[in-house]
Amino acid sequence: MVDQSGIHDKTFSLSADERINALEQFRTSFESFPDRHQVFDDLLRLCSDEDETVQEKAINVLETVFHLVPDKEKAWAELAGLLKSVSVPETVRWEVINFLPSIFPHVVDMKQVWDDLIEITASENSRVQEKAASYLETVFPELSEKEREEAWKDFLGLIGTENQAAWEATVLSLVSSFAHVPDKRGAWDKLLRLTEKESTYSREQTMEALILLFPSMPDKTKVWADFTALAGSRYENVREMASDALILLYPYQEDREKVWDDLIRLARKGDNYVRGSAADILARIFHQQSDGEKVREDIKSLTGERYDYIVQRALEVLGPDYPQLFEAKDSIEELYKLAREKAPYAKWKAASNPEHEVSRKKSGSSLKEEK
């Protein structure tokens, strides 16, 4: 029979070798100990041992035997408490949080796991924050439908974190979890409202999340409407990010005439950055419109006080291959003639010139600084 009392006494020995010997016996004979919860407590304590070798050994044994602990809910609570404690060395918390995914399957109350992870994301250690946030996507699908509704609110609360690493992990977890949200439209709208927050950083994080989420939204027409509305936001960084995203969104829209009209509206009313983004797309799709006369009138309506960016864009991209564009009296008419004759090549050429996209970025914009 295992002498638990004697092995327990070894965990307090001044000799690191004896403490390590006790840990090895815990690992090999865990199921034979009469009081396994006492063993678990010994392991937790040794995780913060002053000797690094003892720490490492204790953490490894703890991961190995967790599934054998009789009261796993209580064991999880103590483990989560260790991760939340500011008195526990950061190196220990980092090592412990790394093995959490291996024990998730053995914990029944996943809502408690979720709540603890949310609390751990407030840790002072940015690496621990990031890890906790990255695990949210694993736990979210295990929650009940009602719990997921509440958990989505936790996601939104984390969006404002100032720690970039934790934010990136949060956004990725949020995007991965979106497929399991019962009310996707409601979840999308709640996220959308965060674009009005006072914090510049929070707004940019929210926009990043929306851009990553849009392919999972069933109603792409609503997504387009929301982003064209965001392109008129009072906040510069929201306007810029929304207008940049339109190039990703428009291929999903079946009503190309509606897309055209929305882009013309932005090209007329938006600021310089938004007008440029709208015009870039207009230059790519003008030859796809059925009503050529209307398109010509729309483009001509952008001339005068506002620089004809669409024509300029097409000339920059297509000019090297079609020098007749520079010689034409009416550039718009010549563009249409070209579109009728060689539209597939013209479209490919216009879509394959990323240099102009980069040069159009405004210096000093919040998005450029972030990227």
User: Has residue 116 been placed in a domain?
Assistant: no
Q: Are residues 153 and 234 in the same domain?
A: no
Which of 184, 216, 248 is at the close of a domain? 216
- Provide the number of structural domains found in the chain: 3
Amino acid at 197: K
User: Has residue 127 been placed in a domain?
Assistant: no
Q: Which of the residue ranges 81-95, 158-172, 350-364 would you say has the lowest mean pLDDT? A: 350-364
Which of 162, 194, 216 is at the close of a domain? 216
pLDDT at 320: 67
CB 190 within 8 A of CB 152: yes
Which of 201, 216, 231 is at the close of a domain? 216
Contacts of residue 257, defined as CB under 8 A and 6 or more positions apart, other chains included, come to 289, 290, 291
Q: Does the CA dihedral 166-155-88-36 come out positive or negative?
A: negative
Q: What are the tens digits of pLDDT across the range 246-280? A: 999 999 998 888 999 999 999 888 788 898 888 88
Q: How confident is the model at residue 297 (pLDDT cuts 50, 70, 90)?
A: confident
Q: Are residues 357 and 223 in the same domain?
A: yes
- Whole-model pTM? 0.76
Q: Are residues 187 and 244 in the same domain?
A: no
Phi-psi region of 362 (alpha: psi -120 to 50; beta: other; left: phi over 0): beta
> Is a pLDDT exceeding 50 seen at residue 363?
no
Q: Are residues 94 and 145 in the same domain?
A: no
Q: Which of the residue ranges 136-150, 152-166, 301-315 would you say has the lowest mean pLDDT? A: 301-315
User: Has residue 114 been placed in a domain?
Assistant: no
pLDDT at 337: 66
Q: What are the tens digits of pLDDT across the range 56-106? A: 999 999 999 999 998 999 999 999 999 998 888 888 999 999 999 999 999
pLDDT at 285: 79
Residue scoring higher pLDDT (369 or 90): 90
Q: Are residues 207 and 97 in the same domain?
A: no
Mean pLDDT of all residues in 34-43: 93
Q: Are residues 359 and 308 in the same domain?
A: yes
Q: Tell me, what DSSP letter sits at residue 255?
A: -
Q: For residue 163, what are the CA distances in angstroms to 131, 194, 220?
A: 12, 18, 31
CB 86 within 8 A of CB 123: no
Q: Are residues 17 and 73 in the same domain?
A: yes
User: Has residue 160 been placed in a domain?
Assistant: yes
Q: Which pairs with CB-CB distance under 8 Å and at least 24 residues apart come from 178-182?
A: 178/213, 178/216, 179/216, 180/140, 180/141, 180/148, 181/148, 181/152, 182/145, 182/148, 182/149
Q: Are residues 260 and 160 in the same domain?
A: no
Percent of the chain residues past pLDDT 70, beyond the cut: 81
CB 260 within 8 A of CB 282: yes
CA angle centred on 162, ends 133 and 214, rounded to 5°: 60
Average pLDDT value for the chain: 83
Structure tokens, 289: 């419109």
Q: Are residues 353 and 224 in the same domain?
A: yes
pLDDT at 45: 94
78: exposed, middle or buried (Cβ count in 10 Å: 0-12, 13-18, 19+):
middle
Q: Are residues 72 and 156 in the same domain?
A: no
Q: What are the tens digits of pLDDT across the range 185-195? A: 999 999 999 99
* Ordered alpha helix ranges (H), 270-308: 272-285, 292-301
CA angle centred on 98, ends 94 and 103, rounded to 5°: 130
User: Has residue 370 been placed in a domain?
Assistant: no
Q: Are residues 201 and 223 in the same domain?
A: no
Give the structural domain span for 333.
219-363
Q: Are residues 223 and 350 in the same domain?
A: yes
Cα–Cα distance measured from residue 336 to residue 313, given in angstroms and rounded to the nearest whole number: 14
User: Has residue 10 been placed in a domain?
Assistant: yes
User: Has residue 285 been placed in a domain?
Assistant: yes
User: Has residue 204 been placed in a domain?
Assistant: yes
Q: What are the tens digits of pLDDT across the range 182-234? A: 899 999 999 999 999 888 888 988 999 999 999 999 999 999 999 999 999 99
